Amino acid sequence: MRVPPPTIINGFSFIGRMGLMDNTSHSSCLQKYYKEHQSPFPVDLAELSHCVSLACGFPGFKAEAGILNYYHMDSSLGIHVDESELDHSSPLLSFSFGQSSIFLLGGLSRDVSPTPMMMHSGDIMVMSGASRLLYHAVPRILRHPGGGILPPCLSAPPSTDDPNQLCSPSDWEVCELYMQFSRINMTVRQVLEAGGSFPEEGDKMGKRMTQGDSYHSVDIETQEAEEQGLTKRIRTVTQD
Protein backbone atom coordinates (compact mmCIF):
# COMPACT_ATOMS: atom_id res chain seq x y z
CA MET A 1 0.00 0.00 0.00
CA ARG A 2 1.39 3.39 -0.91
CA VAL A 3 1.46 6.16 1.64
CA PRO A 4 -1.11 8.72 0.52
CA PRO A 5 0.27 12.08 -0.51
CA PRO A 6 0.72 14.43 2.42
CA THR A 7 -2.09 16.90 2.89
CA ILE A 8 -2.70 19.83 5.16
CA ILE A 9 -3.51 18.51 8.61
CA ASN A 10 -4.78 20.75 11.38
CA GLY A 11 -3.49 23.88 9.72
CA PHE A 12 0.05 22.57 9.32
CA SER A 13 1.81 24.21 6.44
CA PHE A 14 4.52 22.01 5.26
CA ILE A 15 7.75 23.62 4.29
CA GLY A 16 9.19 20.58 2.70
CA ARG A 17 8.61 17.00 2.07
CA MET A 18 11.40 15.13 3.60
CA GLY A 19 12.90 12.06 2.72
CA LEU A 20 13.48 9.29 3.42
CA MET A 21 14.22 6.03 4.51
CA ASP A 22 14.52 2.86 2.64
CA ASN A 23 14.52 -0.61 4.06
CA THR A 24 18.21 -0.58 4.80
CA SER A 25 19.99 1.59 7.29
CA HIS A 26 20.21 4.64 5.08
CA SER A 27 18.41 7.76 6.12
CA SER A 28 18.33 11.28 4.91
CA CYS A 29 16.38 14.39 5.57
CA LEU A 30 16.43 17.99 4.51
CA GLN A 31 16.76 20.06 7.65
CA LYS A 32 16.02 23.72 7.27
CA TYR A 33 14.20 26.16 9.47
CA TYR A 34 13.72 29.45 7.68
CA LYS A 35 11.67 32.49 8.54
CA GLU A 36 10.15 32.50 5.06
CA HIS A 37 8.58 29.10 5.68
CA GLN A 38 6.95 29.81 8.99
CA SER A 39 3.34 28.93 9.50
CA PRO A 40 1.08 28.76 12.54
CA PHE A 41 1.77 25.82 14.81
CA PRO A 42 -1.40 23.85 15.64
CA VAL A 43 -2.70 25.18 18.94
CA ASP A 44 -3.89 21.83 20.29
CA LEU A 45 -0.56 20.16 19.60
CA ALA A 46 1.32 23.08 21.16
CA GLU A 47 -0.84 22.75 24.29
CA LEU A 48 -0.29 19.02 24.51
CA SER A 49 3.45 19.54 24.06
CA HIS A 50 3.45 22.19 26.77
CA CYS A 51 1.72 19.81 29.23
CA VAL A 52 4.09 16.94 28.45
CA SER A 53 7.24 19.04 28.68
CA LEU A 54 6.01 20.71 31.88
CA ALA A 55 5.40 17.31 33.45
CA CYS A 56 8.96 16.33 32.49
CA GLY A 57 10.48 19.40 34.10
CA PHE A 58 10.77 21.70 31.09
CA PRO A 59 8.30 24.54 31.78
CA GLY A 60 9.84 26.84 29.17
CA PHE A 61 9.46 24.47 26.20
CA LYS A 62 8.12 26.17 23.10
CA ALA A 63 6.71 24.03 20.29
CA GLU A 64 8.26 25.61 17.22
CA ALA A 65 8.57 22.85 14.65
CA GLY A 66 7.29 19.39 13.94
CA ILE A 67 7.98 16.43 11.71
CA LEU A 68 5.41 13.88 10.69
CA ASN A 69 6.78 10.49 9.71
CA TYR A 70 4.47 8.17 7.80
CA TYR A 71 5.53 4.54 7.95
CA HIS A 72 4.29 1.63 5.87
CA MET A 73 4.47 -1.80 7.47
CA ASP A 74 7.77 -2.30 5.59
CA SER A 75 9.24 1.17 6.19
CA SER A 76 12.17 2.03 8.39
CA LEU A 77 13.98 5.13 9.55
CA GLY A 78 17.75 5.03 9.37
CA ILE A 79 20.21 5.93 12.09
CA HIS A 80 20.45 9.66 12.75
CA VAL A 81 20.76 12.43 15.31
CA ASP A 82 18.27 15.31 15.40
CA GLU A 83 20.64 18.20 15.53
CA SER A 84 19.25 20.78 13.13
CA GLU A 85 17.57 22.68 15.91
CA LEU A 86 19.65 25.51 17.33
CA ASP A 87 18.66 24.80 20.91
CA HIS A 88 19.55 21.32 22.10
CA SER A 89 18.86 22.08 25.75
CA SER A 90 15.14 21.75 25.07
CA PRO A 91 13.58 18.30 24.83
CA LEU A 92 12.33 16.66 21.66
CA LEU A 93 8.86 15.15 22.08
CA SER A 94 7.83 12.14 20.04
CA PHE A 95 4.22 10.92 19.76
CA SER A 96 3.36 7.59 18.12
CA PHE A 97 0.06 6.41 16.66
CA GLY A 98 -1.23 3.36 14.86
CA GLN A 99 0.92 0.29 14.43
CA SER A 100 3.92 -0.39 16.66
CA SER A 101 7.63 -0.15 16.03
CA ILE A 102 11.01 -1.12 17.34
CA PHE A 103 13.00 1.95 18.35
CA LEU A 104 16.77 1.70 18.71
CA LEU A 105 18.42 4.17 21.03
CA GLY A 106 22.16 4.34 20.55
CA GLY A 107 24.92 6.55 21.86
CA LEU A 108 26.88 9.64 20.91
CA SER A 109 28.57 7.75 18.09
CA ARG A 110 27.35 5.16 15.63
CA ASP A 111 29.56 2.51 17.23
CA VAL A 112 27.62 2.30 20.48
CA SER A 113 25.37 -0.78 20.67
CA PRO A 114 21.79 0.44 20.74
CA THR A 115 19.09 -0.39 23.28
CA PRO A 116 15.97 -1.72 21.56
CA MET A 117 12.55 -0.72 22.84
CA MET A 118 8.98 -0.99 21.62
CA MET A 119 6.93 2.05 20.69
CA HIS A 120 3.18 1.53 20.73
CA SER A 121 0.26 3.70 19.75
CA GLY A 122 -0.20 6.46 22.31
CA ASP A 123 3.39 6.27 23.58
CA ILE A 124 5.23 9.52 24.10
CA MET A 125 9.01 9.58 24.13
CA VAL A 126 10.87 12.58 25.49
CA MET A 127 14.48 12.95 24.42
CA SER A 128 16.07 15.42 26.78
CA GLY A 129 19.36 16.13 28.47
CA ALA A 130 22.02 13.58 27.56
CA SER A 131 19.60 11.62 25.36
CA ARG A 132 18.68 14.61 23.18
CA LEU A 133 21.63 14.07 20.84
CA LEU A 134 21.89 10.30 20.85
CA TYR A 135 21.79 8.31 17.64
CA HIS A 136 18.53 6.48 17.04
CA ALA A 137 16.65 4.58 14.37
CA VAL A 138 13.38 2.77 13.66
CA PRO A 139 14.32 -0.51 11.94
CA ARG A 140 10.94 -2.28 12.00
CA ILE A 141 7.23 -1.59 12.04
CA LEU A 142 5.20 -4.33 13.69
CA ARG A 143 1.53 -5.07 14.17
CA HIS A 144 0.31 -3.61 17.42
CA PRO A 145 0.07 -6.30 20.13
CA GLY A 146 -3.13 -7.78 21.49
CA GLY A 147 -5.05 -8.65 18.35
CA GLY A 148 -7.42 -6.50 16.35
CA ILE A 149 -6.40 -4.36 13.45
CA LEU A 150 -6.26 -1.14 15.43
CA PRO A 151 -4.90 -0.47 18.92
CA PRO A 152 -7.80 -0.16 21.42
CA CYS A 153 -7.34 3.59 21.85
CA LEU A 154 -8.04 4.08 18.15
CA SER A 155 -10.74 1.51 17.68
CA ALA A 156 -13.67 3.76 18.63
CA PRO A 157 -14.46 6.95 16.73
CA PRO A 158 -14.29 10.20 18.70
CA SER A 159 -17.57 11.25 20.27
CA THR A 160 -19.70 13.47 18.05
CA ASP A 161 -21.27 15.04 21.19
CA ASP A 162 -18.09 16.85 22.08
CA PRO A 163 -18.21 20.38 20.59
CA ASN A 164 -14.43 20.65 20.90
CA GLN A 165 -13.93 17.54 18.84
CA LEU A 166 -11.83 18.53 15.84
CA CYS A 167 -12.09 15.28 13.95
CA SER A 168 -15.22 14.84 11.85
CA PRO A 169 -16.64 11.33 11.35
CA SER A 170 -15.54 11.35 7.73
CA ASP A 171 -12.00 12.38 8.68
CA TRP A 172 -12.01 9.64 11.28
CA GLU A 173 -12.96 7.04 8.71
CA VAL A 174 -9.96 7.99 6.60
CA CYS A 175 -7.63 7.92 9.60
CA GLU A 176 -9.03 4.63 10.82
CA LEU A 177 -8.42 2.99 7.47
CA TYR A 178 -4.96 4.48 7.15
CA MET A 179 -3.84 3.42 10.65
CA GLN A 180 -4.72 -0.20 9.97
CA PHE A 181 -1.62 -0.46 7.82
CA SER A 182 0.57 2.32 9.08
CA ARG A 183 2.38 4.01 11.88
CA ILE A 184 2.51 7.76 12.28
CA ASN A 185 5.13 9.44 14.40
CA MET A 186 5.03 13.11 15.19
CA THR A 187 7.99 14.88 16.74
CA VAL A 188 7.70 18.34 18.24
CA ARG A 189 10.79 20.47 18.65
CA GLN A 190 11.93 23.78 20.02
CA VAL A 191 14.27 25.18 17.41
CA LEU A 192 15.50 28.42 18.93
CA GLU A 193 16.98 29.49 22.21
CA ALA A 194 14.67 31.73 24.24
CA GLY A 195 14.45 35.08 22.47
CA GLY A 196 16.04 33.77 19.26
CA SER A 197 14.63 34.23 15.79
CA PHE A 198 14.53 32.10 12.68
CA PRO A 199 17.23 32.78 10.09
CA GLU A 200 16.32 34.08 6.69
CA GLU A 201 16.92 31.82 3.76
CA GLY A 202 20.46 32.29 2.52
CA ASP A 203 21.79 34.13 5.53
CA LYS A 204 24.78 32.87 7.44
CA MET A 205 22.91 31.08 10.16
CA GLY A 206 20.69 29.32 7.66
CA LYS A 207 23.74 28.02 5.89
CA ARG A 208 25.23 26.85 9.13
CA MET A 209 22.07 24.98 10.02
CA THR A 210 21.90 23.25 6.70
CA GLN A 211 25.54 22.29 6.64
CA GLY A 212 25.56 21.15 10.24
CA ASP A 213 22.92 18.58 9.67
CA SER A 214 23.91 14.98 10.20
CA TYR A 215 21.34 13.55 7.84
CA HIS A 216 21.11 16.29 5.30
CA SER A 217 20.04 15.18 1.89
CA VAL A 218 19.51 16.55 -1.55
CA ASP A 219 16.21 17.09 -3.32
CA ILE A 220 16.81 14.34 -5.80
CA GLU A 221 16.87 11.74 -3.02
CA THR A 222 13.59 13.04 -1.70
CA GLN A 223 12.02 12.86 -5.09
CA GLU A 224 13.30 9.37 -5.74
CA ALA A 225 12.09 8.15 -2.39
CA GLU A 226 8.66 9.58 -2.98
CA GLU A 227 8.44 7.88 -6.31
CA GLN A 228 9.16 4.60 -4.55
CA GLY A 229 6.51 5.30 -1.94
CA LEU A 230 8.93 5.29 0.98
CA THR A 231 8.38 6.76 4.39
CA LYS A 232 7.63 10.43 4.19
CA ARG A 233 8.83 13.07 6.61
CA ILE A 234 7.13 16.40 6.71
CA ARG A 235 8.34 19.40 8.59
CA THR A 236 6.51 22.45 9.76
CA VAL A 237 7.86 25.60 11.37
CA THR A 238 5.85 27.94 13.50
CA GLN A 239 5.32 31.61 13.86
CA ASP A 240 4.09 33.50 16.91
Ligand X SMILES: O=C(O)CCC(=O)C(=O)O
List of residues contacting ligand X (CB under 6 A) = 67, 69, 77, 82, 94, 96, 103, 119, 136, 138, 185, 187
Strands lying side by side in the sheet with 183-189 = 16-18, 232-237, 65-71, 183-189, 92-98, 124-127
* DSSP 8-state assignment for residue 219: H
Examine residue 213 and tell whether it contacts Fe ion (CB under 5 A): no
Q: Binding site: residue ranges?
A: 80, 82, 136
Q: State the residue number with the nearest CB to ligand X.
A: 185
Query: Among ligand X, Fe ion, none, what binds residue 28 when CB lies within 5 to 8 Å by partner kind?
Result: none
Closer Cβ to Fe ion, 22 or 82, answer by number: 82
Our measurement of the distance from residue 231's CA atom to the centroid of its chain's CA atoms, rounded to an integer in Å, reads 11
Smallest separation (angstroms) from ligand X to the CB of 195 = 25
Choosing among ligand X, Fe ion, none, which partner's interface includes residue 27 (Cβ < 5 to 8 Å by kind)?
A: none
Specify the long-range contacts of residues 195-203, CB closer than 8 Å, at least 24 apart: 196/86, 196/87, 197/35, 198/33, 198/34, 198/35, 198/38, 198/237, 199/33, 199/34, 199/35, 200/34, 200/35, 200/36, 201/32, 201/34, 201/35, 201/36, 201/37
- Residue 131 vs 157, nearer CB to ligand X: 131
CA 146-151-157 angle, to 5 degrees, is: 140
Instruction: Give the annotated binding-site residues for Fe cation.
Output: 80, 82, 136
Nearer Cβ to ligand X (69/182): 69
Binding to Fe ion in span 74-93, by CB under 5 A: 82
Verify binding: residue 226, Fe ion, rule CB under 5 A.
Answer: no
**Please, are residues 41 and 238 in contact by the beta-carbon 8 Å criterion?**
yes
Choose the one of ligand X, Fe ion, none that binds residue 119, judging by a C-beta under 5 to 8 angstroms depending on kind.
ligand X
Residues in region 15-44 near Fe ion by CB under 5 A: none
Q: With respect to ligand X, which residue has the nearer C-beta, 133 or 150?
A: 133
